[in-house]
Amino acid sequence: MSSWIDFYDFKHSVIYVNARHCDVHYRTIAEDIRKLVPSSSAHVLDYGCGEATSADLVAAACTKLILVEAAPNVRAALTQRYTGHPKITVISAEQAAALPKGSLDMIVMHSVAQYLSTADLDRLLAVFHSQLKPGGLFVLGDIVPPHFAAPAAALALLRFGAANGFFWAAAFGLMRIFVSDYLRLKKTVGLSHYAEAVMLERLKRAGYAPQRASHNIGHNQQRMTFLARPV
Ligand SMILES: C[S@@+](CC[C@H](N)C(=O)[O-])C[C@H]1O[C@@H](n2cnc3c(N)ncnc32)[C@H](O)[C@@H]1O
């Protein structure tokens, strides 16, 4: 395993401690994303959507939902799940890069930026900027701050587990992550962290008018969501 895409393509990702965690995780995210959809006629793209088991909740709030997933096995499972859905399309990262300019009302990229180099993030910010319609919205979620990220993530997972009936599975899952490829990849490939001011500046330089949202999408409120409109 040599990349974060490989890590997330692993059939039973150690990131989810059990099926209930996976289910509650994706439902929580979908409910948060749905609140940000600008209108029922919106065309929405979710970049690095993962398993997206509750994407139908987002689709119900818009006209078209494009799910983008780079990991081939995850993408195959998504395609199987949503084939025939009238609003949902599943595509690869390469296909996403070729989408027409000015065609999207909202782009979400949640819990992906930490796995990208800063150069790759900047490249995506530019692509998304061109693909958004004037007045469109870019939602950049789950940005990991530079300090105390790991203990904050562990505590947030335990709290999330306690609130949703999987506390002990969460505790066991944390130990499993400890002996998994996650820590090895963290050392060899690295994870990207951004302070609030640094990310605001990065988004401004990429041509957006950004602001930090009061709530981070999902369960970990130590991390940050940014709402950015192309200018
Ligand atoms: C933590 S999951 C996030 C899934 C979902 N958005 C969520 O919030 O639960 C990280 C996602 O980033 C994707 N990813 C990792 N590295 C990537 C890269 N270099 N390019 C595109 N996607 C990448 C993985 O395939 C995976 O779907």
CA 123 to CA 203: how far, in whole Å?
A: 12
3-state secondary structure 159-178: HHHHHCCCHHHHHHHHHHHH
Q: What is the pLDDT along the chain (231 residues), one digit of tens a residue?
A: 789 999 999 755 678 888 899 999 999 999 999 999 999 999 999 999 999 999 999 999 999 999 999 999 999 999 999 999 999 999 999 999 999 999 999 999 999 999 999 999 999 999 999 999 999 999 999 999 998 888 999 999 999 999 999 999 999 888 888 778 888 899 899 999 999 999 999 999 999 999 999 999 999 999 999 999 999
Residue 13: predicted pLDDT:
64
Q: Which atom of ligand 1 is nearest to the CA of 25?
A: 9
CA 218 to CA 220: how far, in whole Å?
A: 6
Site to probe by mutation for ligand 1, drawn from 8, 10, 29, 75 as the one with most ligand atoms within 8 Å of Cβ, is 8
If you measure from the C-alpha of residue 141 to the centroid of ligand 1, how many angstroms do you get, rounded to a whole number? 12
Q: What's this model's pTM, rounded to 2 decimal places?
A: 0.95
Torsion of CA 200, 204, 206, 210, to 10 degrees: 60
Residue ranges lining ligand 1, Cβ < 6 Å: 4-5, 8, 29, 48-50, 69-71, 93, 110-112, 115-116
64 CB neighbour count, 10 Å cutoff: 17
